[in-house]
Amino acid sequence: MPDRFIDKFRHRRLSIMASLGILILASGFTIEDSDSELIEQRQARIVEAFEMLPQDLGLNRTWLKSADVEIPTSQERMLDLNAHVSRRYQLLGSAPPSRFTLFFAHSSDARSMAGHHPPNCYPASGWLPGEVGVDESVAILANGRTLPFRVYSFQRGDPGKEIWVANGFVLPDGSGVGTLAEAGGVIGNAEQSRLGLVQYQFVFDGDIDLQEVIEFTDDVLLSIPNALFDALGAPAPLTSNGVSND
């Protein structure tokens, strides 16, 4: 074969390979950009959804907001918070007053939430496990969605201050789990973790019993609009980069 034909063939083959390489590279960047845009849209929806949280809670709105509670900047950065609400509540007509602090938050990356659950963060802050063990209950909302939560007790000081902590999580598909271990599939998956994780936590003063903690937590969870939880589980379309549609 004449040299000029060989050179022409090689040149054409190299041109085709280079073009394919550019297309593959461009496609890769497009996928990543598309995923980032979808995730940003999801985060914006969740910020709007948090605004649906009523000021007063409980099915009869008997838990009255008494104050906003500021989140330390360091904690906000550590958890990579996209949206959060932190408030203090008091039960109308209770004597002595029944109070709790609400922490409702969406972390932009589920991996940032890995260390932030009661068995880890409260002992790290000087709280010791209380005498009462843990229990678990489930709140069933009107559309059949279940929101599990686990109850913990802690104490510190002498004679000792006691608190109850009821805690649960909402996964990117909108389902609820009671422990961080059950959210491991999201935290352990780099792509899934980009969809974030929602934590709901209620910290009650310790002058109530376990049954009251469960009843109060049920009452508060049942008063949160279903539309809010629907938005938390709003689908993020699947792309070839592996981000789940749920």
Nearest C-alpha neighbor of 117 from the set 125, 109, 229, 214? 125
Which residue in the block uniquely carries the two structure tokens 């271990």? 181
The single-letter code of the amino acid at 140 is: I
DSSP per-residue letters across 164-230 = EEEEEEE-TTS-EESSGGGGHHHHT-HHHHTT-EEEEEEEEESSS-HHHHHHHHHHHHHTS-HHHHH
Note the pLDDT of residue 135. Answer: 63
Judge whether 107 and 196 are in contact, CB under 8 Å: yes
* 118 half-sphere exposure, CB direction, 13 A CA radius: 26
Instruction: Print pLDDT tens along the chain (246 aa).
Output: 555 444 444 444 444 444 434 333 333 323 355 678 888 998 999 999 999 999 999 999 999 999 999 987 777 788 889 999 999 999 999 999 999 999 999 998 888 888 788 888 888 888 988 866 666 777 777 677 888 999 999 998 766 789 999 999 999 888 889 888 888 888 888 788 888 899 999 999 988 998 999 999 999 999 999 889 888 875 543 333 333 333
Query: How is residue 214 written in tokens?
Result: 């469960």
Q: How far is CA 220 from the centre of its chain?
A: 18
- pLDDT for the residue numbered 142: 66
Task: Give kind and range of the element (H or E) at residue 16.
Answer: helix 3-50
Neighbours of 172 (CB within 10 A): 25
Q: Which residue bears the tokens 């936590």? A: 201
Sign of torsion, CA 20 26 30 31? positive
Token digits of residue 238:
């699947």
- Among left, alpha and beta (phi > 0; psi -120 to 50; other), residue 179 is beta
Tokens of 234: 């709003």
Phi and psi dihedrals of 41, rounded to 5?
Answer: -65, -40
50 phi/psi in degrees, rounded to 5: -60, -25
